Amino acid sequence: MTGLGQAVAYTRDFTYGLLIVPEFADDDYPIASHISQVLMQEVAKPLPLGLLRYDPRTISPSSAGFDVLRQLEVRTGVFTSHALLDNSFWAKWRDISPQELGLLLQYLYEEGRGGRTSGSTIRDRAFARLWLDIQNDRAFHWGGAPRQVANSAANRVAWGKNYRNFVTHIGWAAADGKLTEEGLLALRLVHQYGSESRIFVDELAKTLLLAGKHLVLINAINEFQDAQGAFAHEQQWLDSIEGHLEDEGLLKRNPGRHAAAVRHSARGFLKAEKTIWKNLDLIVPRGQTGGRAYHPKRGFIFDWSRITSLLTEH
């Protein structure tokens, strides 16, 4: 039912909302039929919201069969405004691994309970402890080896900003650094199962999709791909996506970035997003080593089976 509320909320900033649910919930309750009946009520009839049902026993990337329980109708009114994706609409991730995230959550929790009155903030004190771990080979990147970052003032500022902002953007920490209810839940999973466990990584993936708004970005990319078809090269494809998001008002226009896109200059647009999506198995990689995210003549192939599974977990 939380998903229903989120789907309705998306209709404020976007033309339509679409909810995809399994036929039965984990407790065997017929959740799809229940939501369908809710949407049949008079108050829900004007909502520009579609509903799809799937069978988790048979769905896969190669066989994504859905039953349409509520058809999308032409919207009669206009949405409030496009959400600006570039203004922190999706959580900006830079390198932080599940192990480092677990450490940071622990330090934020401890510093938030410490009752210190010094001039430093909870966020600053917590990252100072994580930075010490990085310098002493106690923090590990996604590949499992110690994180290697030179101990300079510039690096400490840059890495601190990326790490601290990420936990705030995904809703695990408040602006003052104290853990939110969702952050405390994530920390409990770290304590119970470990920061590199599948349960914690899945919670991170689900949070990134919903609270981190990556699901909105993924949907925007997927819709563009479906409408535009194939591109000859990845850079041309990325530039076209960027231009489309700008034209639709979903990405704040940047003259310098736009000029580089017109020239098809090699840049880093979506570079970090491609990496985190691959790390969390949200995207189907290409090649024998799985090192590439872009598929020629298609673009990104998202693992909708995993995404729908994450979004329907309780």
- What pLDDT digit, counting tens, does each position of 243-277 carry? 888 887 777 756 554 454 444 444 478 889 999 99
Q: According to the model, what pLDDT value does residue 16 have?
A: 75
User: Given pLDDT bands bounded at 50, 70 and 90, which one contains residue 76?
Assistant: low
What ranges do the domains of the chain cover? Answer: 2-70, 98-209, 214-311
Question: Whole-model pTM?
Answer: 0.70
Would the pLDDT of 43 be above 80? Answer: no
**Interatomic CA distance for residues 72 and 66, integer angstroms:** 14
Q: According to the model, what pLDDT value does residue 113 have?
A: 87
User: Given pLDDT bands bounded at 50, 70 and 90, which one contains residue 152?
Assistant: very high
Would the pLDDT of 304 be above 70? Answer: yes
Q: According to the model, what pLDDT value does residue 155 have?
A: 94
Q: According to the model, what pLDDT value does residue 77 have?
A: 61
Selected residue with higher pLDDT from 233 and 99: 99
- Tell me: the pLDDT tens digits for 219-236? 888 888 888 876 778 888
Most confidently predicted of 66-80, 153-167, 299-313: 153-167
